[in-house]
Amino acid sequence: MPNMSLEKNKMPHQDPNVRNKNFQEVALGYTLEQAKDEAERCLQCKHKPCVGGCPVAIDIPAFIQKIKEEDLEGAYEIINRSSSLPAVCGRVCPQETQCEARCVRGIKGEPVAIGRLERFVADWHRLNVEKEPTLAPKNGHKVAVIGAGPAGLTCAGDLAKAGCEVTVFEALHVAGGVLVYGIPEFRLPKAIVHDEIDKLKKIGVTIETNTVVGKAVSIDELFEEGYEAVFVGSGAGLPRFMGIPGENFNGVFSANEFLTRINLMKAYREDAPTPVHHGKNVAVVGGGNVAMDAARCAKRLGAENVYIVYRRSLDEMPARKEEVEHAMEEGIIFKVLCNPVEIMGNENKFVSGLKCVEMELGEPDESGRRKPVVKENSEFLLDVDCVIMSIGTSPNPLIKNTTKGLETNRHGCIVTEESGLTSREGVYAGGDAVTGAATVILAMGAGKNAAHSILEYLKNKE
């Protein structure tokens, strides 16, 4: 008999008042009993609606059935056929708008906790199975991948599994992209990402870190060096600012810089080489996942008051609901329907306040969301000494500017066909570099799709 409970099995969490002072993982994962009980909620629907909501089409009922049978390695193998980063996606995928949004159990009550089950299986595999990877026979083709984020790593993995000699060129000193420099440790422990990268190295992928393509080497030079195809997965890491007065004061950060200092340079540790300046009172401008991450990090660094300043209402906030709830539990203060107009500074050019106006929602704009309009005579000053801008990012124009014939759109995103092929023969692209800031699973899906197209291209060349 299936478990007909209307609610998901709850995930154990660190207490909010404890976790807002440490960087350890917030959600602690299911036990085997909880996972099996949750698996019993799945009705094994014949037409599998949940699979249609997963961008990489994991056979969800099949892996859940294996959990019911306590065949956890069997469950892992089913997930791994479609996803190379299950421990990552089980944690950070916006499941509520993807697989779980299509689950029939969600019609009356909560959907099956597909993401939590995926995480459970991937963690079990990581801790219990040590398999030596098998090296594929070489097919004689050489491919370059630019960027070691989820798009580049997935593409590199699939090409290596098909026998290509693959080199990933990464600008930073570590591989992982946003998974290591953006998403904080308390949401995604870095050991998980490093494990996945080690697996790729074991199947023959070479990763050249500290190599900025467009400066150290160009795409044209990579072709001259004998690479037959190139995949661009360089992400969208160029931060946007509002263009309001005061953005040059000390104590104003982009969320990307702030999070990179914390995640990659471990600025929260007492022995950190470059501790991050964080204020006593911090305003984070924006309402996405990145804004929640920055605010929760600021709180953990010891700020007394951390404000999310967002110009629409809570209902329009693009961040995952779970992340908003976690931020609220941890004491982040939400100033919604509020927009900054000027950053104030003192005589030493440090931030001394944030001038804001109140907003109200008007008619829907082209995105379908009600447009925020300024309320008359509503100006007020927020007492802060640090402002973190988290209002979006775009792709860095470096690769476009150094590659002949590479077409981009007006947002600076690389234009591709469905296959991932760009306007330049042999050059494919995917992930945030093509879509603008999106999600891990979409970037992985794009990397997979491009790897498939590159293999076809190489076969046709033969």
Q: Which of 78, 295, 443, 458 binds ligand FAD (CB under 6 A)?
A: 443
Alpha-carbon separation of residue 250 from 186, 253, 257, 446 (angstroms): 27, 8, 13, 39
Residue by residue, DSSP assigns 210-260 as: S--BTTTB-HHHHHHTT-SEEEE-----EE-----TTTTSBTEEEHHHHHH
- Report the residue number, 44 or 346, with the smaller CB distance to ligand SF4: 44
Residues numbered 93 to 132 that lie near ligand SF4 (CB under 6 A) are 93, 95, 98-99, 103-105, 112, 114-115, 118
The answer to whether the CB of 372 falls within 8 A of the CB of 359 is yes
61 binds, among ligand FAD, ligand SF4, none (CB under 5 to 8 A by kind): ligand SF4
Tell me the closest approach of the beta carbon of residue 4 to ligand SF4, in angstroms.
11
Tell me the closest approach of the beta carbon of residue 25 to ligand SF4, in angstroms.
17
- Compute the chain's Rg from CA coordinates: 23
Q: Which of 99, 117, 121, 290 binds ligand FAD (CB under 6 A)?
A: 290
- Report the residue number, 34 or 83, with the smaller CB distance to ligand SF4: 83
Q: Does 445 bind ligand FAD (CB under 6 A)?
A: no
Q: What is the DSSP letter of 381?
A: E
358 - beta bridge partners?
A: 338
Tell me the closest approach of the beta carbon of residue 326 to ligand FAD, in angstroms.
11
Tell me the closest approach of the beta carbon of residue 276 to ligand FAD, in angstroms.
15
Starting at the edge strand found earlier in the chain, the sheet holding 427-429 runs 206-208, 165-169, 142-146, 229-232, 427-429
The answer to whether the CB of 234 falls within 8 A of the CB of 393 is no
Residue whose token pair is 């929602």: 361
- Report the residue number, 78 or 259, with the smaller CB distance to ligand FAD: 259
114 binds, among ligand SF4, ligand FAD, none (CB under 5 to 8 A by kind): ligand SF4
Pairing of strands 351-364, 338-345: antiparallel
Which of 402, 35, 419 is CA-nearest to residue 220? 402
What totals of helices (H) and strands (E) does the chain contain, helices first?
A: 17, 16
Q: Does 251 bind ligand FAD (CB under 6 A)?
A: no
Pairing of strands 380-382, 305-310: unpaired
Which of 304, 303, 307, 302 is CA-nearest to residue 332? 307
Tell me the closest approach of the beta carbon of residue 46 to ligand FAD, in angstroms.
29
Q: Which of 432, 450, 451, 454 binds ligand FAD (CB under 6 A)?
A: 432
Work out the angle at residue 297's Cα, subtended by the Cα atoms of residues 183 and 188, and round it to the nearest 5 degrees.
30
The answer to whether the CB of 147 falls within 8 A of the CB of 177 is yes
Site string for ligand FAD, 325-364 (x = CB under 6 A): ----------------------------------------
Q: Does 29 bind ligand SF4 (CB under 6 A)?
A: no
408 binds, among ligand SF4, ligand FAD, none (CB under 5 to 8 A by kind): none
Site string for ligand SF4, 41-80 (x = CB under 6 A): -xxxx--xxx---x-x-x-xx-------------------
Residue whose token pair is 């600008």: 171
**Would you tell me how many other CB atoms lie within 10 Å of the CB of residue 128?**
10
User: 3-class SS at 384?
Assistant: coil
Tell me the closest approach of the beta carbon of residue 292 to ligand FAD, in angstroms.
8
Q: Does 233 bind ligand FAD (CB under 6 A)?
A: yes
C-alpha to C-alpha distance for 388 and 127, rounded to whole angstroms: 37
Q: Does 177 bind ligand FAD (CB under 6 A)?
A: yes
Applying CB under 6 A, the residues found at the interface with ligand FAD are 92-94, 146-152, 169-172, 177-178, 182-183, 212-214, 233-235, 237, 259, 289-290, 293, 396, 398-399, 431-433, 437-441, 443
Applying CB under 6 A, the residues found at the interface with ligand SF4 are 42-45, 48-50, 54, 56, 58, 60-61, 83, 89-90, 93, 95, 98-99, 103-105, 112, 114-115, 118, 441
